[in-house]
Amino acid sequence: MYVIFGMFPVSCARTESSRAEFALGTVCSVTLFERGDNRVYQEIFSRLREIDNRMSVNIAASDVSRINAAAGIEPVQVHDDVFFVIERAVFYARLSNGAFDPSVGPLVSLWGIGGENPRVPTQEEIEKTLSFVNWRDIELDANSKSVFLKKPGMALDLGAIAKGYAADEAAAIIKSAGIERAIIDLGGNIVTCGVKKDKSPWRVGIQNPDEKRGTYIGITQVKEQSVVTSGVYERFFEKDGVRYHHIFSPSGGYPVDNELLSVTVIAHNSIDADALSTAAFVLGYEKGATLIESLPDTEAVFVMKDMTVRKTPGADFTITDKNFSLIQN
């Protein structure tokens, strides 16, 4: 999923129209067009790395790693931004009745998808691990900004929400700098700031789940919104002819196997779009669409295994790949 500019921005001697760096486990790019300023870029990427250092499960000194290490032992005081993201994650866990669950960390570790040695666990291993996955066992204390996992063996994983928060933080820096139009792309988490120079909406291509990156099935048009996709193509491995992707059922313990290939959510805040795209994917089309339609200023595009596409009523989406068909509800 990426923004279709139509033409490439032209940089001048004193500006840098776009910058890309590795952060948050992915390639992150920020485009400030003719207002590109080294100081602003440095502030943005410094903030992205700060968020990663606090929220990554792969950094031993991060707040999230400290929470996981103290599971069942004691609460851990965390930075305000970490507490906010976990609090928001619990909100979406409650809203989706557990379809989105930030305590899915033990399952992520068990399967190892995206790591060097992914594997298919035994049913016994999965059942044992599921006893540690329950968002209701996350205890938050707003006064002390502390987080406690009630059972030893529990572990948080904020991979389905932290990038959304980071994208919002980047957008806030851009707005504070007085930059009126920009594009943020954190490995597919898109935030559009303002509108294009000709005042038209941004055009964002939605990835074809069965093709290489950059191949899109259609275009959504947005203004001052975030576009986030969760899909089977993002991280996966194959074993005995079966593809196992990284979006798990918190109740079943396996990668979700339903009628969906991907869900794209369009919302004002990227943290919301990030969590909701995962929740809607896990719920499946009917329950996922019901959830999205219950929320203000939030839309979604569902790509199905049968090569059809469905969308919520307010989504501005046009099919461009004739192999897919849009089904109007």
| Every domain of the chain and the residues it spans | 2-37+179-326
Say which residue, 185 or 237, is predicted with more confidence: 185
The pLDDT value given to residue 1? 58
Provide the whole-model pTM: 0.94
**In this structure, are residues 291 and 285 in contact, taking their beta carbons and an 8 Å threshold?**
no
Which of 2-11, 125-134, 214-223 tops mean pLDDT? 125-134
Q: How confident is the model at residue 147 (pLDDT cuts 50, 70, 90)?
A: very high
Whether residue 10 has pLDDT greater than 60? no
Query: Does residue 308 sit in helix, strand or coil?
Result: strand
Mean pLDDT throughout 140-148?
98
Whether residue 197 has pLDDT greater than 90? no
The pLDDT value given to residue 8? 33
The hierarchical CATH code for the domain 2-37+179-326 is 3.10.520.10
Residues 6+ apart with CB under 8 A from 177: 35, 37, 40, 43
**In this structure, are residues 244 and 111 in contact, taking their beta carbons and an 8 Å threshold?**
yes
Q: Look over the chain and give the mean of its residue pLDDT values, rounded to a whole number.
A: 92
Query: Does residue 237 sit in helix, strand or coil?
Result: strand
> Residues 58-66: contacts with CB within 8 Å, 24+ apart?
58/25, 64/156, 64/157, 64/158
19-44 burial: b if 16+ Cβ within 10 Å, else e? beeebbeeebbbbbbebbeeebbebb
Mean pLDDT throughout 159-186?
97
The pLDDT value given to residue 6? 36
DSSP string over 100-163: S-TT-HHHHHHH-TTSSS-----HHHHHHHHTT--GGGEEEETTTTEEEESSTT-----TTTHH
Mean pLDDT throughout 269-276?
98
How many angstroms separate the CA atoms of 214 and 254, rounded?
28
